Structure 1
Amino acid sequence: MYKVLLVDDENRVLKSLENGVDWEKSGVCVAGKANNADQALQLVQEIKPHIVFTDIRMPGLSGLDLIEKIQEIDPKIQFVIISGYADFSYAQRSIMYRVLGYCLKPFDEDEIAELLQKAIEILNKGNTATSMLQDTKNNSLQQILKFVDDNYMSDITIQELAKRYYLNPNYLSQLFKRELGLTFTEYLTAARMRTAQDLLHTTTLSIREISENIGFKDYFYFIRKFKKETQKTPGQFRKEHYRHG
């Protein structure tokens, strides 16, 4: 039976994850739990897990830094990121580390079971043709994410992206959701909102100008979307965060 290590700085999250999933049904067992990266690294040496579920934001070493260190110990270990934040920059970096998936809290047991099945298939097949296929998929997605990051101010659609990279639109939509835990629209919106916050923080551009610069044709839609993402209007955000000089 494959062993799973759970890593999160909140005990209630660890308990919820451990008790909320039928691990044995998927053919695995929870062999250890850790509250921080140091504990996790020690347990990796002691229990030698096959699969690691790790939070991405923790005090000290981040989840991605932890993954990098664990991969140096055993590159065959499979990883799933758990997070309460739909943060596209973290999701993008996770692709570089061949992370199997990005699960947002609260957890979906069916989604976790699917990721466990994928991990088990990879572990069963070792470092055969599967690793090569994973590399190809990751490289393609990295190229797509870079294009979106460079062109988010344009009117990008999933259909145009799929055509550019010779993919089926439905497959590309599934790829975003499965690998990043985000839809294409959520990823695009996150890129735009991050730039909007930066412009509000560092420039005197009007809110309408910022809206246009990041790809929103409808000024009022931008304001609604910004408030939904940040719980503040652009004006409130600027008042609280604007850096003079």
Structure 2
Amino acid sequence: MHKVLIVDDESWVLESLKDLVDWARYGFEVAGQANNGADALEAMRKIRPDVVFTDIRMPEMSGLELIQRGRSVGFPVHFVVVSGYAEFAYAQKAMSYGAVAYCLKPFDEPEISGVLIKLGKLLDAAKGTADSPLVQLLEEPSEDARAKLQGELERIGIGDWATAGIVPVVSVGQGELSGLRGPSIRLKMGPSKTAYLLGAAKAEELASGWREQFPPDLSGIGIGAGITDLSEVRSAIAGADMLAHQFFLSGKRGVYEHRPYKENELNRRMSELSDAIGAAGMPAIDAAFRHIAELFREDALSIRHAFRVYNMTISFLFKLGQTEETLYSYEQLVQSFRDVFDMLGELQALVVRHCRGGETPPPETKNRTFNQILQYVTDHFREELSLQGLSEQFFMNPSYISQLFKKEVGETFVGYISQLRIAHACKLLDEEEHYSIHEIAEKIGYNDYFYFARLFKKMTGKTPTQYRGERK
């Protein structure tokens, strides 16, 4: 149930609004009421409502001021203004302050019901994002975060999780999972990726239905391993995330679960590829790529392995350091190539060009061209950028651009972009409280919540939630 706080300085108005509609029918409960703005702020901090219905004209603190000050409580709240004053100026000002609706007294049941339907859709779409204990557990697997998630599981009706288990499910695509009635925790992890926690029995039942009739507008559904230890939630969701992207390898939309992978075989083939690149041996390079492609055709690998193949190959060529500094998410891989075989073809062509092109000239001192590249990256850091794209735009060897970044700014290409993005994320966390953390990740160019939270912690020493909380 979504929590509602009603605020009005006239008690009869409070009771009238409480009794007017069947709140539970629309997924709401009146969790509290207040007679003035100061009490309302205190009540908001205690009960953490999803929605506040507030009068405009109240003594000491008006409803408009309450909306302004309510933005600093540290969690998302939707405001609905109710008033006996029909002047357009009040409605206009309330909307500019962030109110989602404006209702006139005396109340009209169909009007209030319509507002609740609208709010229900808004809240369901955002459920499990900004203030979910699951977000905190994914950012920082602390005892406090686990305790909060445990309380949430029990509150929504998954009280048997410690014995029956909970199952993480991740969906990829613009659509929604079908059949999700009953208790579940939902977390939007990007523009086209959502994670869920379900009871084990419910997850098995739903997975069977999804196999029979796959939900429209989805590409993949990953069913993670069932767990009874909340400290394993983070890794279990990461596993489901990996499985949800298996369509990139199979070429088919579907429901995917864990199976054994030929990890050692891939390691051997990557070692062969490294040796072949080092020796610039074309037959050996061709053989190594052919053997790796065979492993993918056998369904013996996952997208995590495709991710590794791409990043390690680029690392062999351009020596960019850690593999995840080249591609940082499954989404970026999926957006860059039609499927894993398209990726392998592009990689092989890149390796052949590199090996036939001879040695890359050493970096020079700063020049106009590099200054143009640097300015372009600084202006466009929120967008998808790559060494290959810069190479084509500025007619320079991508390896050469990489070396120039390291020499001239003391950072790798991706490291420089990361600094710009995290600095901007800090600014948004400080100034834009109405954005959830995953929305901020998207705005600075990261569609993968896992990667953004990990990188933010690495560069600032704090999780995004901790950073925002310390600045309240």
Amino acid at match of 1:3: K
Distance 2:125 2:12 in 1: 34
Unmatched 5+ stretches in structure 2: 130-187, 192-472
Distance 1:15 1:51 in 2: 17
Amino acid at match of 2:78: Q
The answer to whether the 8 Å contact 1:76/1:123 transfers is no
Distance 2:115 2:75 in 1: 18
Amino acid at match of 1:4: V
Please report how far the alpha carbon of residue 100 of structure 1 lies from its aligned counterpart in structure 2 after TM superposition: 1.4
* Partner in structure 2 of residue 65 of structure 1: 65
Distance 2:23 2:59 in 1: 27
C-alpha distance after superposition, 1:140-191 (max 9, x if no partner) = xxxxxxxxxxxxxxxxxxxxxxxxxxxxxxxxxxxxxxxxxxxxxxxxxxxx
Relative contact order (alpha carbons < 8 A, sep ≥ 6): 1 or 2 greater? 1
Specify the SS of the correspondent of 2:31: strand
Please report how far the alpha carbon of residue 123 of structure 1 lies from its aligned counterpart in structure 2 after TM superposition: 1.4
The answer to whether the 8 Å contact 2:7/2:40 transfers is yes
Please report how far the alpha carbon of residue 92 of structure 1 lies from its aligned counterpart in structure 2 after TM superposition: 1.2
Is 1:53 matched with 2:53? yes
Distance 2:109 2:23 in 1: 10
Distance 2:122 2:102 in 1: 17
Larger Rg: 2
Distance 1:76 1:45 in 2: 11
Distance 1:28 1:95 in 2: 22
* Partner in structure 2 of residue 21 of structure 1: 21
The answer to whether the 8 Å contact 2:48/2:75 transfers is no
C-alpha distance after superposition, 1:44-88 (max 9, x if no partner) = 011000000000000011001001111111452111110001022
C-alpha distance after superposition, 1:94-133 (max 9, x if no partner) = 121221111101111111111111112111212788xxxx
C-alpha distance after superposition, 1:10-62 (max 9, x if no partner) = 00100111111211111100000000011101100110000000000000110
* Partner in structure 2 of residue 146 of structure 1: none
1:1-245 aligned at under 5 Å gives the runs 1-74=1-74, 76-126=76-126
Amino acid at match of 2:114: E
Percent identity of paired positions between Structure 1 and Structure 2? 49
* Superposition CA RMSD, Å: 1.5
Specify the SS of the correspondent of 1:73: coil
The answer to whether the 8 Å contact 1:50/1:78 transfers is yes
C-alpha distance after superposition, 1:186-240 (max 9, x if no partner) = xxxxxxxxxxxxxxxxxxxxxxxxxxxxxxxxxxxxxxxxxxxxxxxxxxxxxxx
Distance 2:98 2:30 in 1: 22
Unmatched 5+ stretches in structure 1: 130-245
The TM-score normalised by the length of structure 2 is 0.27
Please report how far the alpha carbon of residue 91 of structure 1 lies from its aligned counterpart in structure 2 after TM superposition: 1.0
Amino acid at match of 1:50: D
How many residue pairs end up in the alignment? 129
The answer to whether the 8 Å contact 2:55/2:63 transfers is yes
Distance 1:4 1:74 in 2: 17
